[in-house]
Structure 1
C-alpha cells in the first residue's frame, strides 16, 4: 500500500478539464480499489473562505466541526457552470479572464503562494480528513472525491501557477514529505519538497499546446513553462498513448533519461454487458450519431456538420462547448447542440446512438472512443495514427478533410449496425483488460523497466532551436 499525493488541476479546483478529469478520476478509482491511501491537493480561494465562514455561522454545527470544512470544500469544487461559456462572447470571456487574474493577484492567496515560493513563509501542510457520512447527496461529477482519505489545502495553488509564469515569479511550493508517490496528472508548475525515496510521476497527455498552430503564443509559453518545470522534477513519466510518447521523443529528446510508460485512459466495462446485445428498441427509429467536442479547431466539428447537410435522413447530437457562434446560426435541422451534459446523460446518449463520430485532426488519445466501445456503440473516426492505436479494427475510418468520406463512413455504419456491434462484443474481454479501470493502477505503478510497460526514452539528437528558444522564456 502506497501513500499517494494527487496534484490534479482537473480535480483540485472547480474547473473540470474533461479529458484529464476522466483519466485521473478513473485512475483514482483504480488506485483506491487496490487499497492505496490517496490525498488530493485542493486550492483554496476567496470563494472557499466565504463558503467556510457561511457554514460556521450555521448554528446547527459546532464551530470546530469537520463537516463545516467538508461542506465548504465540496461546494467549492462543485461551483463551476460548464454551460456558462456558451452564453458569453469572446470579448466577454477575455474581459472575465483578465478580471479573474487581477482579482487573484490582489488576493491573500496569491501573496501566500508568493511568500512560500521565495522561502519567506514556511511550508505548512493543512490536511482535512475526508468523512462524507454527513453529506446526504454528492453530485455525480464529485463522487470520486469520496475515494480520498484526506485533502491538502493550498491557498490559490493552481491559479497562481500561470501567473507565476507570466510574471516570471518562482513556482508555487508544496510539502509532499510523508508520501511515497506524488502523482502530477498533467504538466504543472510546482516545486515539490518530498522524501528522497519518494517518486514523482508526471502524466503527459499530449504536446498539442506546442504544436497546434492555432493556439496563441501565450498559451504555448504557459504550457511549456508547466511542462519544463514538471520534467525537471519528475522521476518517471506516464503517457496516455504510444503516439504521445513517440511525439515527446521527437520534440524533447533532452529528457530521454526519464523512465516512461504508457498508461491508457480507462472506462467502465461491465462484465454483464459482454454477452448482452444492445436492444435495438433503445435506439431511436431515426438514425442518430453523437460527437463530443470542445471549442478547438482541431476537433473538426464543421466538417461533420457539412457532411450532415448531405445526410438529411440522420441526426447529429453535438455534446460540449462549441465555441464560435457562426456555426450555430446556420445549423441544418438535423443537427442539435446539446451543450455540456453530465456523465450519466452523456453515457445514455452514446449508448442509444447508432454511432459515435471522432473527426479530430489531432489528439493525444480519444476517450470518447473507449466510452463508445464500452457501450457497444459503433465508432467512426479520423484516419490518424493515435485513433488506429486506440480503436484498431473496431472503428470505421474516414478522411477528416473530406465531407464525402465522412458521409460514406456514416452510410457504411448504418448499413452494418449489428456487424459492428457483434465485432465489439466479441473483443469485449480484451477491451476490458486494455481499457477497464481495474488494470490502470497496475500499469501506473509498474516498478521495473521492461519492454511492455516502463522504458527509457530513446536518446536522439539535440532539441530544435525553436524549442530551445521557447524554453528560455518558459521556465
Structure 2
C-alpha cells in the first residue's frame, strides 16, 4: 500500500532558495520518490486563489516573498491588531481554527533546472500566506493555523513550525530538528517567535528526526522531558547534481596559485574574523575564496588575497571546489556541516573546527583545529598549501566515507526503515 506524506516546509514551500534546509528536504523528497511514497507539499501562495501546478511551480522558482506580511513591519502591526480584535469578538472560536486544505495534483514532467526537487512532489496543498501568518502568530503568541492532514500516513515538519496538523488516528507527525543554535543566538521578537515555534512543534510531533547524533544528544540534555520520545537520525543526502559534478573533479587541473575555499554565512558563529586573521599569516602564497552571503564591506581589513564571491550558482561553486587545494570550515557551532561533505566529495582535504559533530560527520578523517586559536589554523593552512599531497590519503578516505554514509542509496534504505515503523 502506497504511503502518503505531507511536507510542511517554509524552505521548500516558499521562494527561498538560499536556505540550507531546502537541500535537506530536497534529499528527503528524492528518497521518497525512489520508495514510491506519494508526497504533498504545503505551499504558501500570495492570495487565496486556485492555482494550477504550473503556476505554483513558477511561483516557487521565480516568485518573491517581498510582499509577505513578515517583510512589511508597518502592515504587520496593523494585521496583528486586526487579529487580536477579531479574537476578542469571536471567542472561543479563534481565527484560523478551521482546517485548511486544497490539494492540487502535480504531475510535473519538466521542472525548472533551478528546482529539480519539484519533480519529486506529487501534489501541492496551496494555502494563502500560510507560513507568513504562522510566523506572525508565533511572534504574538496567537494560536497556530490548523492544517487538515487527514488521509496522510505521516506529516513531516522539516523545521520548527507554528502549525497544528489534524491527522487520522494512528498517523505520525515527524519533526526534523537541525540544531538548537537559535536558543543561544536569538533575542527579542525573533526569540519569542522561535520559542513559540519550538513549543508548538514539540506539542504536535509524535516523533523526532535529528540530522546528527550530536544534535540528538544536545537536545536530550536541553530538553530531558522530551528525551524519551521516539527519535532517529536521518542525515542530509548528497544531491545528485553535486555527485555528478564531483565525479570529474580529479580531471580538473589545479590553478597554479593555490586556492582555499570556505563556504560560510555572515554570522558570528561562523568565525570569519579568525579565518581572515589566520589566512593573513599565510601571506601572498595562496588565495582564500569565501562562498556565501558574506558582505565584504564588513571586513575592510581583509588581506588582498581574500575574495568574497557571495551567493553564486551551483555550477560556479563546483568550479571553485574543483580547482581548490583544500576546504576550511571554522564554525563554532553547527547541527551538521554540509560544507564538509561538499569539500570531501571533490577530494579536498577538509580543515575544520574541533567539534563533536564534525568528528561524527567525517569519521575523524578531517583535519581539526581549535576554533579559538589563530595560530593553530594558520599552521594547518601553511601545511596544506605547502604540501597538499600529504593530506590526500585522508581526503580520499573521507570522500569514500561520505559517499557510503550520505549517498542516495544509503539514505533511501534508512528512510524505508523509518517509514516502516515508528522508531524505538
Q: Post-superposition shift, 1:106?
A: 9.3
Query: Equivalents in 1 of 2:290, 2:378: separation in Å?
Result: 17
Of 79, 86, 102, which aligns to 1:126? Answer: 102
Q: Which residue of 2 aligns with 1:24?
A: 25
Encode CA deviations 1:379-437: one digit per residue, 9 max, x unaligned.
11011111111113321111222221111111222244234334333454443221112
Q: Structure 1 pair 176/441, CA: closer, same or farther in 2 (3 Å)?
A: farther
Query: Equivalents in 2 of 1:271, 1:157: separation in Å?
Result: 34
Of 190, 207, 219, which aligns to 1:236? Answer: 207
Of 277, 299, 302, which aligns to 1:306? Answer: 277
5 Å-filtered alignment, 1:357-368, equals: 357-368=328-339
Q: Structure 1 pair 362/147, CA: closer, same or farther in 2 (3 Å)?
A: same
Secondary structure class of the residue paired with 2:28: helix
Structure 1 residue 74 and structure 2 residue 74: aligned?
no
Q: Structure 1 pair 79/380, CA: closer, same or farther in 2 (3 Å)?
A: same
Query: Equivalents in 1 of 2:265, 2:408: separation in Å?
Result: 25
Structure 1 residue 164 and structure 2 residue 148: aligned?
no
Structure 1 residue 290 and structure 2 residue 268: aligned?
no
Q: Structure 1 segments of 4 or more deviating over 6 A? A: 269-277
Q: Which residue of 1 aligns with 2:154?
A: 181
Instruction: Mark the runs of 5 or more structure 1 residues left unpaired by the alignment.
Output: 53-67, 85-94, 456-475
Encode CA deviations 1:188-241: one digit per residue, 9 max, x unaligned.
1101101112111100001111123xx323322221211111111111101111
Q: Is the 8 A contact 1:274 1:428 kept in 2?
A: no
Of 197, 217, 226, which aligns to 2:170? Answer: 197
Query: Equivalents in 2 of 1:406, 1:268: separation in Å?
Result: 30
Query: Equivalents in 2 of 1:80, 1:317: separation in Å?
Result: 30
5 Å-filtered alignment, 1:276-355, equals: 278-279=250-251, 281=253, 283-311=254-282, 312-323=284-295, 325-327=297-299, 329-355=300-326
Query: Equivalents in 2 of 1:120, 1:220: separation in Å?
Result: 23
Q: Is the 8 A contact 2:96 2:146 kept in 1?
A: no
Q: Post-superposition shift, 1:271?
A: 8.5
Q: Is the 8 A contact 1:15 1:80 kept in 2?
A: no
Q: Which residue of 1 aligns with 2:16?
A: 15
5 Å-filtered alignment, 1:32-181, equals: 32-46=33-47, 69-79=52-62, 98-99=73-74, 101=76, 118=94, 122-133=98-109, 138-140=112-114, 142-181=115-154
Q: Post-superposition shift, 1:378?
A: 1.4
Structure 1 residue 439 and structure 2 residue 410: aligned?
yes
Q: Is the 8 A contact 1:45 1:156 kept in 2?
A: yes
Query: Equivalents in 1 of 2:270, 2:64: separation in Å?
Result: 22
**TM-score, normalised with respect to structure 1:** 0.78
Query: Equivalents in 1 of 2:245, 2:12: separation in Å?
Result: 29
Q: Which residue of 2 aligns with 1:469?
A: none
Instruction: Mark the runs of 5 or more structure 2 residues left unpaired by the alignment.
Output: none
Q: Structure 1 pair 255/162, CA: closer, same or farther in 2 (3 Å)?
A: same
Secondary structure class of the residue paired with 1:446: helix
Q: Post-superposition shift, 1:27?
A: 1.3
Q: Structure 1 pair 245/118, CA: closer, same or farther in 2 (3 Å)?
A: same
**TM-score, normalised with respect to structure 2:** 0.87
Secondary structure class of the residue paired with 1:401: coil
Structure of greater relative contact order (alpha carbons < 8 Å, 6+ residues apart) = 1
Query: Equivalents in 2 of 1:343, 1:217: separation in Å?
Result: 35
Query: Equivalents in 1 of 2:98, 2:192: separation in Å?
Result: 29
Secondary structure class of the residue paired with 2:262: strand
Query: Equivalents in 2 of 1:120, 1:247: separation in Å?
Result: 34
Alignment root-mean-square deviation, CA:
3.3
Q: Structure 1 pair 337/440, CA: closer, same or farther in 2 (3 Å)?
A: same
Q: Is the 8 A contact 1:184 1:201 kept in 2?
A: yes
